[in-house]
Chains A and B, each alone.
Chain A
Amino acid sequence: MSGNSTYQPQNAVLQWFEKRLPIGGLIHSSFVAYPTPRNLNYWWTFGGILSMMLGIQIITGIVLAMHYTPHVDLAFKSVEAIMRDVNYGWLLRYLHANGAAMFFLAVYIHMFRGIYYGSYKEPREVLWILGVIIYLLMMATGFMGYVLVWGQMSFWAATVITNLFSAIPGVGDTIVAWLWGGYAVGNPTLNRFYSLHYLLPFVIAGVVILHVWALHVSGQNNPTGIEPKSEKDTVPFTPYATVKDGFFMACFLILYCWFVFYVPNFLGHPDNYIPANPAVTPAEIVPEWYYLPFYAILRSIPDKLMGVVALFGSILILAFLPWLDTSRVRSGRYRPLFKQFFWLWVIVCVGLGWLGSKPPEGIYVILSRLFTLYYFGFFIVILPLLGIFEKTKPLPNSISESVLGAKA
């Protein structure tokens, strides 16, 4: 993690240690002296918020694991025991469950920000792809965590999602039996999901380190999308970015705590307070809100295999974004047409989320199909063509000029 470190500890013990393991210099150059563009706005604080949420999820998760039993006969009861008997168990579980939702809220804002300001463009392609990998890992982790509760929604979510793999021609059924460890979702499935749900957050933490590393190699993007050219364009990470990140983390925590303390079950589904019953599918099954757009895409396609392909394609296409967007201007701020298509795309993403919560009939199906078409069209048609036809606005000469005006 680069940066011009001038770290020289005064303390003799620290000097002794630094000579043998220069970790102080690494931290100093990455999070203190590290130059950040001076024009970063609050949308840039979500990286820090996401690190905080990962930390909260790991800490509350480790504690919950001390009280949880991964067995089909005991899992639901142990979760209820956490809620009723364990000291502060209700708080820890609500923090963990709502924390997952907040984690996804923050990651969506982080992703929208990256797309609007072109943060995926050269030289940040690897940084962006690492982010897509983190997002995929988050989806897998969130899904498996939801299954652990072993309520009706847990069980049927596990059934539906594992059955996505049955769409693979030829070997689908073999793969699904392998995933289940049985002839249906059952105890072996719950056990392995527990094992993986414990593992994956640490894998995420590892990829986050690579993500931050890549970020510190290429440097942060900024609202103008032009690279810092002189010392005047940047400010040191501490105190400028640390206090900005810290302040907005506190604001984000207020929202998070409002959910935890006032409406802890608002984002959940009441059916998940019914113990899992393999004999009865609930009348209406929907995933957690953060998966709804993809669920709408899956349902909008009348063919099973193609629906599953579209579902996975809608996420994987993000990894190709650096090459699908052909514009040489990075930031949406100077791209008048892109800006309109982008906001329409945001509306479509949110709209797909709304449609995913509706029954698959009538107007909802038609709208889902239109929205799915636009979702993919944005990547495959609009972005490649915009780079060729769009007339962009003139870029400022430097970051400091855009902030301070021509007098700088």
Chain B
Amino acid sequence: MTTVSSAEHTRRDFLYIATGAVGAVGGAAALVPLIAQMNPDASTIAAGAPIEVDLAPIADGQIIKVFWRSKPIFISHRSKKEIDAAKNVQLATLPDPEPDSARVKAGHDQWLVVIGICTHLGCIPLAHQGEFDGWFCPCHGSQYDTAGRIRKGPAPKNLPLPPYKFVSDTKIQIG
């Protein structure tokens, strides 16, 4: 069987192009729901609404863990010593330089709120451990200081800050 292609444009040429165009557009359109269904669904997004956390029961030097959007959030009530340690750092020596003032809300130096997920590969670092007495990740040895900044190990970035604000002096809203 050989295909004879005529020199002139025929109705079959038109049908080829029209069918091909419908197939390409339709195929691409069909991919949208197939891919989008894997994104977080409506209930997951709804469950990610802001939460309020009462800071009053957290003792000086204590770190608590709360969950927001399935992510652990570390809330550290930093002692004077920890705040000083975080402030007295040569910024140029940090892998991801950020001053301590950019890590906390102005006037609330004692409260550090970070997402407790190692920026390397997503493990949860252990509090009050490591050379800088901040966090230590047991998976691949990343070490964070008392401002949650990466100091040593394979993680590329500081522990990220969640969106949050002080509702009152002893209460924050995360999200």
Contacts and interface: CB of A to CB of B under 8 A. Distances in A.
- Chain A complexes with chain B: yes
A285 B39 contact: no
Contacts of A232: none
A177 B39 contact: yes
B44 A183 contact: yes
A163 B142 CA distance: 15
A285 B40 contact: no
A281 B123 contact: yes
B70 A279 contact: no
Contact of B40 (A163, A183, A360): A183
Contacts of B69: 183-184
A180 to B, nearest CB: 8
B149 to A, nearest CB: 16
A9 interface: no
Given A177-B39, A188-B41, A192-B38, A281 B139 contact: yes
Q: Which of A178, A279, A304, A361 has most B Cβ within 10 Å?
A: A304
A176 to B, nearest CB: 8
Interface of A: 156, 159-160, 162-164, 166, 177-184, 186, 188, 192, 278-285, 299, 301-305, 307, 359-361
A181 B48 CA distance: 13
Contacts of A177: 39-40
If over half of B's interface residues share one DSSP class (helix, strand or loop), that class is named, otherwise mixed; here it is loop
Nearest to A158: B122
Contacts of A192: 38
Given A181-B44, A184-B69, A281-B137, 14 more contacts: A163-B122, A166-B122, A177-B40, A180-B40, A181-B40, A182-B70, A186-B44, A188-B40, A192-B38, A278-B67, A281-B125, A304-B154, A304-B156, A305-B156
Nearest to A301: B154
13 contacts: A160-B121, A163-B121, A163-B122, A166-B121, A181-B41, A183-B44, A184-B69, A188-B44, A192-B38, A279-B65, A281-B125, A299-B140, A302-B154
A160 B44 contact: no
A162 B48 CA distance: 21
* Top 3 A-B residue pairs of the complex, sorted by shortest distance between their CB atoms: A184-B70, A163-B122, A183-B69
